[in-house]
Amino acid sequence: MTDSDATAQPTPGTLESIVALNQGSDPVLRTRKYAAMRETPFSFMRGACQLFYASLPKVVTLSGAPPAWLCGDMHVENFGTYKGDNRLTYFDVTDFDEGALGPLTLDLVRFLASIRVGAAEWGVSPDDTEALVQRSLVAYSTELSVGKPSWIERESARGTVKRLFAQVAGRSRNELLSRYTTRKGKRRRLVIDGRHLLAATAAERAAAEHMMVSIAEAARDNEYFRVIDVAHRIAGIGSIAFPRYVVLVEGRGSPDRNVLIDLKLAHPSSIATLRAHGQPEWPNDAERIVAVQRHSAVVAPAFLFAAEWDGASYCSREMQPQEDRVRLHEWEKQPKKIGEAIVLMANVAAWLHLRGVGWLGSAPVEQLSAFGRETSWRDPLLQLARDAAERTQQQYREFSKAYDEGYFSEQTPAPAL
């Protein structure tokens, strides 16, 4: 496999692309998103997924690999622990908003580039970074060649991921409820703190209540999903400026067995939009995200459903005390521990691609296994990831300069008082 047919992907300028991608979002929250993207090159990368894919060249390495069901936004902070709908806790990919069918190397190039972009923040030297990227690619290829997906749960975890399981094991539902709610007698209300939660309008509450009715029907438990309170949620980076809600529901009883539901607006996949690969026709984007996650994750998260309101679709899932991610910056200047975690992530990436084999256009397991054994594509992919990381760093510098000079303040007028 060669990249002699490489051509640059024509894209608008960095600043214009970022503005266009955030059109229609809440202007106040858009300001928060830009501020979050300004913090570090890695935070910029997290908030500009579509720009990343739009900037990739059109080469055989990124188009000729076997088709697989992709996470679509496979970077090192989209792996973590969560409780599945079987009530067991797993370590897996946790974000499928960009999920789509495509050459499996698209996930890999973003994953490997994210290691390079984040390495300086974690205090990893250039030499250690180079070695880690290569180890990760070998780990992925080896697991893919085996042709049988595995998984990581508490008993099989080791190293930094084992520590993460130990941390979340002691967390309780009451601690999670206390973080987001206040209790008065037998009633709870969401705490509007301006940082994690904002007040929802009457129209937003009505929309959430409508969607929870359809989710309750899908779960066959109307009382469990009876709405108590609704707030606008601020979380992540890419989704900060778009509708996302926390819904406090009855659960198994007030006040201590209430449940928090995350309700998030679904967007079209960047991969499906920019690099179409015979995508199935989905009823809406939320149905796409839910279906891909159910087939690709080791076990689907609790209460993963799709719902619609006013022409838009949303994904739901339970907010859980067991939900967390490996915080690589906490292991600053400890490349061995950081490497241990990232190589495990590479294994998980291969298992994810293997779980979707043969489903709705994905290549059969024999083809993915053979690709894992092949070596001709590896060096070109490593170079593509190196180039993508350098390009992301350059885009971040351009964005930061414009941000500091007030460019994005001009694009985000102050809300009317």
Closest residue by Cα to residue 327 from 6, 37, 16, 77:
77
CA distances in angstroms from 412 to 41, 208, 345, listed in the order given: 22, 27, 37
Residue 358, pLDDT score: 95
What is the SS3 assignment for 100? strand
Asked if residue 110 lies in contact with residue 79, where contact means CB atoms within 8 angstroms, the answer is no
Here the tokens at position 417 are 């008082």
Here the tokens at position 252 are 């198994």
φ, ψ for residue 354 (rounded to 5)? -70, -30
Beta-sheet strands, E only, within 323-413: 324-325
Per DSSP, 323 falls in state -
Cα 255 from Cα 382, distance rounded (Å)? 52
Beta-sheet strands, E only, within 126-224: 152-153, 181-184, 187-190, 197-199
Among all chains, which residue has been given the structure tokens 């979002």?
25
φ, ψ for residue 356 (rounded to 5)? -95, 10
Here the tokens at position 49 are 């997924």
Q: pLDDT of 305-320, one tens digit each?
A: 999 999 999 999 999 9
Sign of CA dihedral 282, 288, 294, 298: positive
* pLDDT greater than 70 at residue 7: no
Q: Which amino acid is at 40?
A: T
* pLDDT greater than 80 at residue 410: no
Cα 208 from Cα 219, distance rounded (Å)? 16
* Chain Cα centroid distance, residue 75: 8
Other Cβ atoms less than 10 A from the Cβ of 226: the count is 15
Q: pLDDT of 229-248, one tens digit each?
A: 999 999 989 989 999 999 99
Asked if residue 237 lies in contact with residue 47, where contact means CB atoms within 8 angstroms, the answer is yes
Residue 411, pLDDT score: 63
93 bridge partner residues = 79
> For the ranges 26-40, 153-167, 313-327, which has the lowest average pLDDT?
153-167
Query: What residues contact residue 311 under an 8 Å CB cut-off, 6+ apart?
Result: none
Closest residue by Cα to residue 388 from 12, 114, 140:
114
Here the tokens at position 194 are 């301006």
312 bridge partner residues = 309
Asked if residue 48 lies in contact with residue 393, where contact means CB atoms within 8 angstroms, the answer is no
Cα 385 from Cα 115, distance rounded (Å)? 9
Q: pLDDT of 73-126, one tens digit each?
A: 999 999 999 999 998 999 999 999 999 999 999 999 999 999 999 999 999 999
pTM of the complete model: 0.94
Predicted confidence band of residue 216 (pLDDT cuts 50, 70, 90): very high
Residue 190, pLDDT score: 98
Cα 310 from Cα 308, distance rounded (Å)? 7
183 bridge partner residues = 188
Total residues belonging to the chain: 417
For the chain, what are the domain ranges? 14-170+323-411, 173-267+276-318
Cα 337 from Cα 324, distance rounded (Å)? 17
Residue 334, pLDDT score: 87
Q: Which amino acid is at 207?
A: A
Query: What residues contact residue 46 under an 8 Å CB cut-off, 6+ apart?
Result: 37, 75, 77, 236, 237, 238
